[in-house]
Amino acid sequence: MAREAPAHDDGPRGGAGRDDAGHYDAVIVGGGNAGLCAAHAARETGARVLLLEKSPADEAGGNSFYSAGAFRVPHHGLDDLVPLLGGPDSRLPVTVIPPYPESDFTADMYRVTGGRCDPQLTSVLVSRAAGTVRWLAAHGIRWRLMYERQAYFRDGRWMFFGGLPLGAAGGGKGLIAQHTSGALTAGTEIRYRARLTGLVRGRDTRRVAGVRYADGRGTEHRVSAGAVILAAEGRGFCAGVDIKQMQQTPGHEALLGANRGCFAAFAAVYECAVPVIAAVHGFCLGGGVGLAGSADIVIASDDATFGLPESWQWRL
């Protein structure tokens, strides 16, 4: 599904290293589900928001674009979900959706993680999932029942299973298209082909005051911000350093270099002069845990997994 490119598909015009006009209250790096949710939330407060996405408009959305757009939420059955659906469906009268209470959602979290999920974070996820879906609906996300993935037809009825009946209309492609439309309508500025190249430091070099990015022509821009939101595209937020590569490198320089790099990255986030929000999806491993943990706020999607492979493999 192609998405219409807005005016800033190639970034603003200008000379090398130009300072973009104005100041943004929040700069969001990454235009997937997490980044766009952050944009909606920031705009609700009246903030001036800039979202930077390194892909062109018709390829944006990260891993979310290629997903089925499914959302796991607790519910009381079909009647609880019907108000969320985009319109009438002739199959509804013969549709059976078993209730999926919060207790079942919590049990599934412990089952699929082998008991490693954080109890407090799991409680937040489960208790707020249904409200989040309604909040997304208010921002233009349309919902459907995923008959083709989570139901079978038997004895004249559509029988749902697995506790996952709800998905975004149009799957992942539809999710990103609706997210983008809602963000632009609400006033979020989106710049595509905008690759983050660094953080802008203030006069006190330990403080971060904005970001640098290169547009599709390679021209670099500087943007000042009141807050920085770290999001990521692809299968996960951050997988950390490559342990196997370090093991294959003679001596200790690779390990020391990785530690120095991690320290610098963590310090930049932790000591940032403005609030830093980490929007985490998929895997967040090793150094990714440190990066997210250095932020002021961490917002995790329902598929986020946190872990330290170094400790699992007895290397720490």
Category of 315 on φ-ψ map: left (φ > 0), alpha (ψ -120 to 50) or beta = alpha
Q: Which of 235 and 4 is assigned the larger pLDDT?
A: 235
What is the pLDDT confidence band of residue 17, given thresholds at 50, 70 and 90? Answer: very low
Please state which CATH class domain 18-66+176-312 belongs to: alpha beta
Q: Which of 226 and 8 is assigned the larger pLDDT?
A: 226
pLDDT at 11: 45
Contact residues for 32 (Cβ-Cβ < 8 A; gap 6+) = 61, 62, 63, 64, 65, 176, 231, 232, 233, 281
Structure tokens at 182: 């809602």
pLDDT > 90: what percent of the chain?
46
Instruction: Give the model confidence (pLDDT) of 23-80 as tens digits.
Output: 888 889 889 898 999 999 999 999 999 999 999 999 898 888 888 999 999 999 999 9
Q: Which of 2 and 240 is assigned the larger pLDDT?
A: 240
- Cβ 48 vs Cβ 231: under 8 Å: no
In this structure, are strands 297-300 and 276-280 parallel, antiparallel, or unpaired? parallel
> Rounded mean pLDDT of the chain?
83
70, β-bridge pairs: 167
How much is the average pLDDT of 283-303?
82
Structure tokens at 1: 């599904």
- Cβ 289 vs Cβ 306: under 8 Å: yes
How much is the average pLDDT of 118-136?
93
pLDDT > 70: what percent of the chain?
82
pLDDT at 73: 96
Q: Which range (129-133, 166-170, 216-220, 249-253) has the least confidence?
A: 249-253
Q: Which of 177 and 260 is assigned the larger pLDDT?
A: 177
What is the pLDDT confidence band of residue 84, given thresholds at 50, 70 and 90? Answer: very high
- Cβ 170 vs Cβ 69: under 8 Å: yes
Q: Is the pLDDT of residue 212 over 60?
A: yes
Q: Which range (4-13, 108-117, 170-179) has the least confidence?
A: 4-13
pLDDT at 175: 95
Distances (CA, A) of 288 to 179, 200, 294: 26, 21, 10
Q: Give the whole-angstrom CA distance, residue 85 versus residue 25.
A: 34
**DSSP codes, the chain:** ------TTTT----STTEEPSS-BSEEEE--SHHHHHHHHHHHHTT--EEEEESS-GGG-SHHHHHS--B----BSSHHHHGGGBSS--TTGGGEE---B-HHHHHHHHHHHTTT-S-HHHHHHHHHHHHHHHHHHHHTT--EEE-HHHHEEEETTEEEE-TT--EEETTHHHHHHHHHHHHHHHHT-EEEES-EEEEEEE-SSTTSEEEEEEE-TTS-EEEEEBS-EEE---SSEEE--S-HHHHHHSSSSHHHHHHHHHHHHHHHHHHT-SS-EEEEE-BEEETHHHHHHHTSSEEEE-TT-EEE-HHHHTT--
Instruction: Give the model confidence (pLDDT) of 217-235 as tens digits.
Output: 989 998 887 767 766 656 6
pLDDT at 267: 78
pLDDT at 6: 44
Q: Where in the chain is the domain with CATH 3.50.50.60?
A: 18-66+176-312
Q: Which of 212 and 185 is assigned the larger pLDDT?
A: 185
Structure tokens at 246: 């370090």
What is the pLDDT confidence band of residue 279, given thresholds at 50, 70 and 90? Answer: confident
Most confidently predicted of 58-67, 173-182, 200-209:
173-182
Residue count of the chain, please give it. 316
Structure tokens at 233: 């595209």
pLDDT at 182: 96
Q: Give the whole-angstrom CA distance, residue 168 versus residue 192.
A: 23
Category of 2 on φ-ψ map: left (φ > 0), alpha (ψ -120 to 50) or beta = beta
pLDDT at 289: 87
Q: Is the pLDDT of residue 314 over 50?
A: no
pLDDT at 270: 75
pLDDT at 301: 77
pLDDT at 16: 35
